[in-house]
């Protein structure tokens, strides 16, 4: 019997099943109505678990959003990373990484903004929060990698520049000034700032 080396009891299986149900329920409701129009009670009901149980799997409602969205951002990053490889010009390559992230973020504006809010102000000790930060870190690394190909950017500055890019992205997506802005408008906004950053 394959896999018998790791004895996985009913406990583990049930836990995984519940987590799956919670993730599915939260994902669906958040996508449909936006996080602010959904109560934790509704998620618990849809996942067919008790109220208290929900909070065993995610300490806060915000964590629940991170749980649901992290994988989407990870995919977006992967797409951007691939796109960037074939683009020689530095600014264009950086923007190739940025674009899918912004698109992902703007699928639902409210959810996107809450996601960012949780990332910066949430509790880093929580697992889903930590994963979100990891994705941001990987995004910065991808940008760093692109910058290293550019002779104008000193090796030492690449990582710092990537952090700045990250900060610019964050504010462009999060700022209430931009709540009504389209993906392209936000991308233009970000591009302008990164252009100045790279101009030397």
d(CA 41, CA 43): 5
Give the residue with the Cβ less far from DNA, 62 or 100.
62
Cβ contact 132:70 at 8 Å:
yes
Residue in the structure block whose two tokens are 């990891």: 134
Per rule CB under 8 A, is residue 138 in the interface with a copy of itself? no
Which CB atom, from 23 or from 166, has the smaller least distance to a copy of itself?
Answer: 166
**34-42, 73-81, 146-154, 185-193 -> range binding DNA (CB under 7 A):** 34-42
The smaller minimum CB distance to a copy of itself, of residues 17 and 177, is found at 177
Asked if 24 is part of the footprint of DNA (rule: CB under 7 A), the reply reads no
- Distance between CA 53 and CA 154 in Å, rounded? 51
> Residue 58 class from Cβ within 10 Å (0-12 exposed, 13-18 middle, 19+ buried)?
buried
* Contact residue for a copy of itself among 34, 160, 181, 183 (CB under 8 A): 160
C-alpha–C-alpha distance, residues 151 and 149, integer Å = 6
Give residues in contact with a copy of itself (CB under 8 A). Answer: 113, 117, 120-124, 157, 160-161, 163-164, 166-168, 170-171, 174-177, 192-193, 196-197, 199-200
């Amino acid at each position: 019997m394959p896999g018998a080396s790791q004895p996985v009891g009913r406990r583990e299986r049930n836990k995984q099943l519940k987590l799956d149900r919670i993730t599915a329920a939260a994902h669906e409701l958040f996508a449909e109505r936006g996080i602010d129009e959904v109560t934790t009670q509704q998620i618990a009901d849809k996942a067919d678990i008790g109220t208290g149980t929900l909070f065993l799997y995610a300490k806060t409602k915000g964590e629940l959003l991170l749980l649901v969205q992290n994988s989407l951002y990870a995919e977006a990053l992967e797409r951007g990373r691939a796109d960037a490889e074939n683009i020689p010009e530095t600014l264009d390559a950086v923007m190739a990484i940025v674009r899918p992230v912004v698109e992902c973020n703007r699928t639902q504006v409210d959810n996107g903004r809450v996601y960012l809010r949780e990332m910066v102000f949430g509790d880093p000790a929580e697992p889903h929060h930590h994963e979100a930060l990891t994705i941001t870190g990987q995004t910065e690394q991808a940008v760093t990698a692109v910058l290293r190909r550019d002779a104008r950017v000193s090796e030492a500055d690449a990582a710092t520049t990537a952090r700045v890019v990250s900060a610019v992205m964050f504010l462009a997506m999060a700022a209430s000034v931009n709540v009504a802005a389209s993906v392209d408008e936000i991308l233009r906004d970000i591009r302008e700032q990164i252009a100045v950053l790279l101009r030397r």
